[in-house]
Amino acid sequence: MKLLVIGASGMVGSRVAAEALSRGHEVIGAVRTPSNLADAPGLTPLKLDVTDGTAVAAAARDADVIVGAVSPRSTDDAASEMAAIMTGYIAGAEGAGKPLVVVGGAGTLNLPDGTPVADVVPEIYAAEAKSMRAAYALLEGSTASYSFLAPPGEIAPGERTGQFRTGGREYLTDAEGNSRISAEDYAVALLDEIETPAHRGEVFTVAY
């Protein structure tokens, strides 16, 4: 398969690209600054503005799947920035007629009692959490074929174990109350979804 990975130089996007390449897929690494991507067999760098839906559609024309892995850079207006990013994803997927897999945020999940996680996160994370939840609403209202993988509460570089739990929209925690996964294992879950779609049209999550 050939994947258009938008945000391929980021913490999650770079690991998604690496996981895809390790499985023998080709990757178009779409980034703001192509020189930030290291040379790798099967990786084609591409300069792309994710908010330009027409450009996203053109970039996706030769790809089988679009992966959206861009996060807002602004803390002052995360809502507007994330809405513009999601609008670019949607226009690209609809314009190219290709499936979209989005790297989401934990704020899109709900607690077991149905309370949105975005409503209870610490204030420092609230703007980004709420912006991602609002952006998902845009995706829900679109005609794009999508899967939306929300990470648990903590995602950071770590070990690739290939061992994790998969759930729906409910926030997952372990016996000690921790909600976490490595970026490497998150990438495994995302590539599994690309290769064998099981969550089209919905939010799902993974955690240890």
Taken in order of first residue, the domains within the chain and their CATH numbers are: 2-207 (3.40.50.720)
Q: What is the rounded CA–CA span in Å between residue 203 and residue 158?
A: 24
Q: What digits encode the pLDDT tens for the residues 130-160?
A: 999 999 999 999 999 999 999 999 999 999 9
The pTM for the full model equals: 0.96
* Residue 195, token pair as written in the block: 């290769």
Q: What digits encode the pLDDT tens for the residues 57-74?
A: 999 999 999 999 998 876
Q: What digits encode the pLDDT tens for the residues 74-98?
A: 667 888 999 999 999 999 999 999 9
pLDDT given at position 2? 98
Q: What is the rounded CA–CA span in Å between residue 16 and residue 12?
A: 6
Percent of the chain past pLDDT 70, that is, above it, reads: 99
**Span 99-111, average pLDDT:** 97
Which is nearest to 188 in space by CA: 71, 23, 4, 8? 23
Q: Is the pLDDT of residue 186 over 90?
A: yes
pLDDT given at position 72? 81
Interhelix angle 183-195/11-22, rounded to 10 degrees, is 50
Pair 2, 24: CB distance under 8 Å: no
pLDDT given at position 75? 61
